[in-house]
Structure 1
Amino acid sequence: MITVGAVWLGGRVPLPLRWAAAVAATGVVAGLAGAALMGVLRLVQHLAYGLFDHGFGAAVVAADPARRVAAMAAGGLAVGLGWWALQRWTSPVREAEDVVGGPLGGRMRLRSTAADAVLQVVAVGAGASLGREGAPRQVGAAAGGWLAARCGLEAQAQRVLLACGAGAGLAAVYDVPLGGALFTLEVLLTTLAPVAVLSAVATSVIAAMVAWPFVGMGHVFTVSHLTSPTASLVVAAVVVGPLAAGVGLAFRALAGWARRLAPRGWRLPVATTLAFAVVGLVAVPLPQVLGNGRAPAELAFVGQLGLVTAVLLLVARPLATALCLGSGARGGLLTPAVALGALLGLLGAAAWSQLWPGAPASALAVVGAAAVLSVTQRAPLTATVLLLEFTGSATTLLVPVLAAVTTATATARLVGSRPSPTPP
């Protein structure tokens, strides 16, 4: 048996066995943590907006407008006080990206990271326009690094397992094992070394399987009217790509700017309460502005979102996300980016149909979502696989999704590589 410090009765445990134990344990813990966090999310959503049988978006729409404002204000106060307490009595919570990209030996404190993750899902459950994936990613990463250290692995191996835990957390809550593994390899480790690939795939698969009894199996989104790609759809995808690059770059810059404004100390709970209440007021006429973005994306994918509403959400949702981040709230940007891309694709389909019919709006919404996500995450392969796993559209939309992601990524890199103007 393996004990703390990886000492075996009668001698040292061989390195391959210690590595395998750390990989398996990381996958299991990430899966259980993801399931537990999703349980907290559902509980908060139920307390905030009541019982719902048709999804969070339907519950928000059915809720009294005053309840939307009250739920957001109460949620903002609760998470603001929580983050203020973490700032006051614990060391700063570190992001997996910073630890993996920093010096060897960097750690994520498990307790403070777990507390931060709970606050993130409480914020999303109350209706903050932030992604829920940041919380399980962080807990999975902290657990992976901690388990690797307890198994006596060297610093580089601990870094790999920390990154694998982040990908496994993503895989667990969305049932996207391949997408979780690619996130580990493309975004965090930026390597295809065999050991890293095997570890990333194993941890993500294990985490997804462990979470199945709690979060379920199947696709995150339903997409209507999926047919074989037409020439019109492929060309439309090529055209949508550069537009998605603009939206993705703007959203990424807006989020980064907002995070730098986040207050500290007693101002933090005041700011979160006010900011969340303002978003709740916006939700009185526009309820789809609440939540991580899954609801408006789903409506776009099934063709049940009006064009006027789509235009309003394309403006209101990123501003709501920036307002939440600027108040000091923490959360992911994955699903908010998917929602923006879906809205862009839906509007693009309406315009494209006047030029060349044959590109279904639902299909172009998926294409737009993948393209925007590829730019915000700086990960074209991960974005492609995630949207195909989210929607189960690999056999029908692979070519147009790749076309849009390619042109979006190329445009973003072209814009990003331009030299800054020389000051006069």
Structure 2
Amino acid sequence: MQQPNAPEGRRGLITLNPRFWVVVLLTGVGAGLAGGALTLLLYLVQHTAFGYTEETFLQGVEQAPWWRRLGVLALAGLVAGLGWWLLRGPVSRWLGRSSGVSESVWSERGRMGFVRTALDAVLQIVIVGMGASLGREGAPREVAAALGSRLSELAGLTSAQRRTIIACGAGAGLAAVYDVPFGGALFTLEVLLGSLALPLVLPAVVTSVLAAVSAWVVLGDRPVYLAAALPTSGSVIVFAVLVAPVAAVAAVGFVRLVAWSRRGRPTSWRLPLATTAVFTAIGALAIPFPELLGNGKGPVQLVLDGGGSLGLLVVLALLKPLATAASLRSGATGGLFTPTLATGALLGAALGHLWVLVWAGSPLGAYALIGGAAFLAASLQAPLSTVVLLLELTHVGQGLLVPLALAATLGTLVARLLERRSTYTAGLGDDLIGAPDPLAPDPECDRADAHPTITRPPWPPGPARR
């Protein structure tokens, strides 16, 4: 069936057929339930590892004795190394090879094995709960994408449809754990698919909204970050214009650091040695700086509340990305969304401390959000999804909409001039073909064994050929 917005005589890859939409609905609900279950597992590991009950994770880590921070991180490194050595070595003989989300979306050869992906996701959640400096959203994003991949194969969908379902599942996983239905949909479209065409917008929105609503059953409906009302002021607008290029340059450095961390990672017996050594070193740094542990939610909330001295914020803004990159380099796997946001928020808050000496006018949390928007948008090269994600994560309303949009747009433009890769494409190689084009002819609609012609969209989410 031809899409309603497709040009005359052209058939979209994403056809409006019942099987496709059944898979969309099941993927959305499955993403929400999986995200809720993995989040509960995260909370269980956090409370057990650091021995706290009612406090937040950062408060629990701060109250834990120094030897517990060091010991838990050393144990996390050993668990991570042995776990991934098994998954990537002996166990892979039975479970087979499994691609990540990006490879599966941007390569026709990519396939996500559900069982192996699920085991990998549980391992990610366990080490993040034990304090690894990685994001918790990576696990539910991959499980939801793998579920969509498996359902697509069972339903006999075409290659382009399957790859689109994988992208929608990944965005739905993000929507579920952070309660960001529209941010998750825009993440699918802007970061993974690189297109806002209607045939892609519809399944992306449906899966993310269903995932967020399904996760409410387990997690409830509340913002991830608590922020007071932050109205726009002249000081904030000028700050957004001035800080965006600075944050963008820093973000380009972070993207290149991520690319480096994904190259030449240890394998075989070297993997558990590397993860144990790196995680132990991070645990030692956490003795004076407990804010380094975890995905970065604690530091973001700290600066939104106006806390942290200038010296502490500068140190954390330097150490947080280094800890994340070192974890990846050691062979660990995890999300990058919250560590990226935390780095940008810390940078924005540090610069905000200096800016208010020149032109006071807004709380420190406003400058932190501006810095987070510029840094995150530049790292993802996705200004639209960044703005919507921050509005949904904090529920600050429209008070900061204009400066957030300014910072995200200018940050993306400056970063785009210096580096075409994002944190999701850095280090993945240059042989990926890009996302499915929803307006390209799809031979698989007529012949199941045919291979569709895929064209790279004009704003490619995949790595540029350099």
1:59 and 2:66 equivalent? no
2:132, 2:157 → 1: CA distance?
39
What are the Cα deviations for residues 55-75 of structure 1, in whole angstroms up to 9, with x where unaligned? 111100000110001101111
Preserved CA contact (<8 Å) 1:31 1:169: yes
Preserved CA contact (<8 Å) 1:241 1:407: yes
2:269, 2:97 → 1: CA distance?
16
1:99 and 2:104 equivalent? yes
1:173, 1:279 → 2: CA distance?
25
1:123 and 2:138 equivalent? no
The alpha-carbon distance between structure 1 residues 311 and 52, as it changes in their structure 2 partners (threshold 3 A), is farther
Q: CA deviation at 1:414?
A: 2.0
Residue number in structure 2 paired with 1:136: 140
Give the residue type in structure 2 aligned to 1:231.
G
1:27 and 2:25 equivalent? no
> Which one of 101, 104, 114 corresponds to residue 110 of structure 1?
114
1:47, 1:172 → 2: CA distance?
24
2:134, 2:70 → 1: CA distance?
17
1:22, 1:332 → 2: CA distance?
25
SS of equivalent to 1:260: coil
Preserved CA contact (<8 Å) 1:77 1:269: yes
Q: CA deviation at 1:15?
A: 6.5
Residue number in structure 1 paired with 2:238: 235
1:195 and 2:199 equivalent? yes
Identify the range of structure 1 (169-178 vs 363-372) with the bigger mean alpha-carbon deviation: 363-372
1:319 and 2:322 equivalent? yes
1:17, 1:289 → 2: CA distance?
47
- Equivalent residues in 2 for 1:375-386 (5 A)? 375-386=378-389
SS of equivalent to 2:136: coil
- Equivalent residues in 2 for 1:4-43 (5 A)? 16-43=17-44
Q: CA deviation at 1:394?
A: 3.2
1:82 and 2:83 equivalent? yes
1:292 and 2:295 equivalent? yes
Give the residue type in structure 1 aligned to 2:198.
P
Residue number in structure 2 paired with 1:156: 160
> Which one of 145, 149, 152 corresponds to residue 145 of structure 1?
149
Identify the range of structure 1 (255-264 vs 132-141) with the bigger mean alpha-carbon deviation: 255-264
Structure 1, unmatched stretches of 5+, are 1-13, 418-424
Q: CA deviation at 1:320?
A: 1.0
1:159, 1:67 → 2: CA distance?
43
Residue number in structure 2 paired with 1:46: 47
Preserved CA contact (<8 Å) 1:349 1:360: no
1:57, 1:394 → 2: CA distance?
26
Preserved CA contact (<8 Å) 1:93 1:116: no
SS of equivalent to 2:262: helix
Aligned length: 402
1:19, 1:322 → 2: CA distance?
38
Preserved CA contact (<8 Å) 2:306 2:363: no
Residue number in structure 2 paired with 1:347: 350
Q: CA deviation at 1:313?
A: 0.4
1:58, 1:24 → 2: CA distance?
39
Q: Which has the higher helix share?
A: 1
Q: CA deviation at 1:324?
A: 0.9
Q: CA deviation at 1:261?
A: 3.6
Task: Using structure 1 for the length normalisation, give the TM-score.
Answer: 0.92
Give the residue type in structure 1 aligned to 2:165.
L
SS of equivalent to 1:394: coil
Task: Using structure 2 for the length normalisation, give the TM-score.
Answer: 0.84
Preserved CA contact (<8 Å) 1:52 1:58: no
The alpha-carbon distance between structure 1 residues 399 and 148, as it changes in their structure 2 partners (threshold 3 A), is same
Q: CA deviation at 1:152?
A: 2.2
1:249 and 2:245 equivalent? no
Residue number in structure 2 paired with 1:165: 169
Identify the range of structure 1 (149-158 vs 173-182) with the bigger mean alpha-carbon deviation: 149-158
1:316, 1:75 → 2: CA distance?
19
Superposed CA RMSD in Å reads 1.4
2:418, 2:209 → 1: CA distance?
36
1:24, 1:288 → 2: CA distance?
39
Residue number in structure 2 paired with 1:6: none
> Which one of 294, 306, 309 corresponds to residue 309 of structure 2?
306
Preserved CA contact (<8 Å) 1:233 1:360: no
Structure 2, unmatched stretches of 5+, are 1-14, 421-466
Preserved CA contact (<8 Å) 2:97 2:113: no
Give the residue type in structure 1 aligned to 2:280.
A
What are the Cα deviations for residues 355-379 of structure 1, in whole angstroms up to 9, with x where unaligned? 2121321111111111111111121
SS of equivalent to 2:222: coil
- Equivalent residues in 2 for 1:386-397 (5 A)? 386-397=389-400
Q: CA deviation at 1:92?
A: 4.1
- Report % sequence identity: 48
Give the residue type in structure 2 aligned to 1:287.
P
Identify the range of structure 1 (126-135 vs 42-51) with the bigger mean alpha-carbon deviation: 42-51
Give the residue type in structure 1 aligned to 2:53.
F
> Which one of 355, 363, 381 corresponds to residue 360 of structure 1?
363
